[in-house]
Amino acid sequence: MKPATGDAPKVVKSEQEWRAQLSPEEYHVLREAGTERPFTGEYVNTKTVGVYACRACGAELFRSDTKFESHCGWPSFFTPLAGGAVIERVDSSLGMRRVEVVCGNCHSHLGHVFEGEGYETPTDLRYCINSVSITLEPAEG
């Protein structure tokens, strides 16, 4: 995985430690910038109120009230939590320009962010996030 721009990750582990902690699919997506198949992820249609966190390090990333129906096959959010929860960097793989989203805490791959697609959200952004990259902590209540 290429290093993210900006500060060094706060959580640093060897590739051997990441492999021991994560399932093969989690490792592929989080540490090798892979992508899960569309419409197969655990959180694609989830409506549960709570906070989504990085599956690799537990850092809080998105709130459920920013999740929206994009019908793209992956969970979509219109904004991350403030304070550097995520880092965005240009991704020119696959012969196109995209913006990769990584965890601001451990620099694990989460997905990509797209803009200008016409969704009626406050930001006109779609953070397209792999379910396997996140966990949901339901709100108490």
Q: Which residues are catalytic?
A: 128
34: left (phi over 0), alpha (psi -120 to 50) or beta: beta
User: Residue 131 — φ and ψ, nearest 5°?
Assistant: -55, -40
CB-based contact 85:139 (threshold 8 Å): no
Separation of alpha carbons 73 and 27, rounded Å = 20
